[in-house]
Structure 1
Amino acid sequence: MSVDSWRLKVQHKSGFEYAGPVSSSYNEARMWPRNEARQAVLDAKVEVWPPARTYKYEDYWGTVVTAFDVHAPHEQLTVTASSTVETLPPGDLVPPGEGASWTDLEQHVDRWYEMRLPTRRTGVDDELRSIVADLRGTHGTPQEAAMAVCEFVRAEVAYVPGSTGVQSDALHAWAQRKGVCQDISHLAVGMLREMGLPARYVSGYLHPKPGATIGESVVGQSHAWVEWWAGRWTSFDPTNGIPIGERHVSVGRGREYADVPPLKGIYSGPKSTGQGVEVTITRLR
């Protein structure tokens, strides 16, 4: 890693509470960052309470999954993921005027077929299709058009914490012109796909302070952003209008949120009374 890299310690605590004893539960956690070109995982672990044996595997989309089941009666389930990751500053965006042409994209239809299809959370309507057609028609390359999509979404949809829930979709956010990072990313992904670009939804974390003090622990965020293929995969954070850089830690990729939820499972017992989430991020270097 370069001297401009950051070293981030991330602790993500999540879990469920139940109205009474649960006899058994079967769970999957997607909280383990991946080693990749722009980040190096120095250490990582996932701990479960009540104690349970865990095992790791990569799912179909390449996300690391920690799977476990609990058979002792429990009224609360807690999963704590801790990792130390070294990240690079921005630098993976395809330069303007470069990358694949529109003709090149058509030659890769089969290669990224699943990332070109709409999903329940990323579908668009006729109004958005018309907007997408205009954006594509006024930009010479897929990369330029993709950046225009991100700029359009950020300008039109306000980031308002708490304005939607995890079940919301792109059209809901578009209709009310507000949403959270998940909604903004779903909308951008849907428009990119409608434009003909393969596009992925990315989940991870964001350090909230660009000028973070070394050693200070802050309340971080579970975050979402987008990637698209324009000759190679490139990424952007449409919620904040910035390229992916040293403040971002990626965990999972997929077609939409349903492919990369941090914690999901099934259980036998009384109803869940709530889910808690805490993310703490510390810049170490």
Structure 2
Amino acid sequence: MPVFKIQHVTKYHYSRPVKESVNQIRIYPVASAQQEILQQDVTISSDPEPFFFIDYWGNRCADFSVLDAHTSLVIDSRVVVRTIGLETIPDVNSSREELLTLIENDFHLLELSRPEEIKATQALQHILDELACEHKTVMQIVEACSAYIFSQFKYIKGITNIETTVDEILQHRSGVCQDFAHVLLQLLRSMGIPSRYVSGYICPNKNGMRGEGATHAWVEAYIPQLGWSGIDPTNNVWATSHHVKLAVGRNFNDCSPVKGTFKGISRQTLSVYVSVGYEDGHVFEEVNDVQMIVSETEKEADRQLALEEEQQQQQQ
């Protein structure tokens, strides 16, 4: 039963003071039979009072606001977690017919078995035809889809973002963990298998897995006789005691660790720092300068900033 010390720091920097920042965080690891939260401390700059609640998917979340003017926002989570998951997943022979019976009597499973509407239906169907899953068990289908993504898609950082669609990922067949999770969700749901997106951390002990020591994403599929079972298409492994789960949902948007808004005309940057400490004293650190998605409102703010800067230069 390994114990991990995880620090997850999210830092927003604003080029000019902003105010009335309203935020929502999902950075509280799931407490379950598979993982025990031994300690967690979360500090937020300006020390706002968080309002805790459980969302639709069962995730522990918190809302908070920073009303005064500020030029940065830092959210620092430090958690000690013991994972109790199995190192191997029991092999079961449940069929899709057995799964269909369960879905008919459970709206939640039905909701998670419906695929997104995409344009690349032919490309997706080609993959399904190649996998030939008609006579496979549910577990075999999940394993086959994960193995296909692992072998046929390239792991490349920096070419996608949280807004990248399944159509785009299918076209260039590359990306990172969240992209592979979204493709796997589409494949499984297209075959009627309920599945959900999982955010968390992967904490292998220096064995070279992709995404180790950083925020990570994988998928949980509902398998009769087993229930919700996690599989990681980025590494083509079942999620066991080295995967620490933060949140679940239909897709990334339901599991985003931090999201929010503010008032003010400012450019913002985002950096994420993750440190995973292992029982042997080894520490894995990763820092990412996250590519921000620019909305039309932010584009207008950029135009206003550029205009003000130009006017200031003319006055000098």
**Fold match, TM over 0.5?**
yes
Alignment equivalent of 1:103, drawn from 97, 102, 105:
97
Does 2:222 align with 1:229?
yes
Q: Distance in 2 between matches of 1:69 and 1:247?
A: 34
Give the Å deviation of 1:195. Answer: 1.0
How far 1:14 sits from its partner (Å)? 0.3
The alignment of Structure 1 onto Structure 2 pairs a total of residues equal to 272
Partner of 1:215: none
CA RMSD, Structure 1 to Structure 2 (Å): 2.0
Q: Which residue of 1 aligns with 2:31?
A: 35
1:64 maps onto 2:60 in alignment: yes
Shift of 1:208: 5.0
Q: Is 1:195 aligned with 2:191?
A: yes
Tell me the TM-score normalized by structure 2: 0.81
**Correspondent of 2:200 among 191, 201, 204:** 204
In structure 2, the residue matched to 1:245 is: 240
Between Structure 1 and Structure 2, which shows a larger proportion of helix residues? 2
In the alignment, the residues of structure 2 paired with residue 227 and residue 249 of structure 1 have an alpha-carbon distance, to the nearest angstrom, of 13
Identify the residue that residue 272 of structure 2 maps to in structure 1: 277
- Which residue does the alignment assign to 2:115? 118
User: What SS class does the counterpart of residue 102 from structure 2 fall into?
Assistant: coil
Are 1:182 and 1:223, in contact at CA under 8 Å, matched by a contact in 2?
yes
The separation in 2 between residues aligned to 1:34 and 1:27, in whole angstroms, is: 20
> The residue matched to 1:108 in structure 2 has which SS?
helix
CA distance in 2 between partners of 1:255 and 1:14 (Å): 23
Q: CA–CA distance in 1 between the matches of 2:161 and 2:152? A: 19
> 1:89-168 maps to which residues of 2 (within 5 A)?
90-91=86-87, 93-95=89-91, 98-110=92-104, 111=106, 112-119=109-116, 125-168=121-164
Higher relative contact order (CA 8 A, sep 6+): 1
Spell out, residue by residue over 1:131-173, the C-alpha distance to the aligned partner (whole angstroms, 9 max, x if none).
2245354542111111100001111111112121111122212
- More displaced stretch, 162-171 vs 31-40: 162-171
Contact 1:47 1:80 (C-alpha < 8 Å) held by counterparts: yes
Q: Post-superposition shift, 1:99?
A: 4.3
Which ranges of structure 1 fall in alignment gaps of 5 or more residues?
213-218
Change (3 A) 1:105 1:83: same
4+ residue runs over 6 A deviation? none
Structure 2: give runs of 5+ residues left out of the alignment.
281-316
Query: Partner letter of residue 187 of structure 2?
Result: M
Could you tell me whether the CA contact under 8 Å between 1:19 and 1:272 is conserved in 2?
yes
Match of 1:48 among 28, 34, 44: 44
Q: 2: CA distance between counterparts of 1:195 and 1:124?
A: 16
Q: What code does the residue aligned with 2:41 have?
A: K
Distance 1:48 1:9, change over 3 A: same
User: How many angstroms apart in 2 are the aligned matches of 1:236 and 1:188?
Assistant: 10
1:209-245 Cα offsets, whole Å, 9 max, x none, are: 3459xxxxxx821000011011111111110112212
Give the match's secondary structure for 1:116.
coil
Shift of 1:72: 1.1
Q: Hey, what's the Cα distance between the residues in 2 that align with 1:129 and 1:194?
A: 9
- The alpha-carbon distance between structure 1 residues 206 and 6, as it changes in their structure 2 partners (threshold 3 A), is same
Percent identical: 29
- Partner amino acid, structure 1, of 2:17: P
**Matches of 1:230 and 1:106 in 2, distance apart?**
11
TM-score normalised by the chain length of structure 1? 0.89
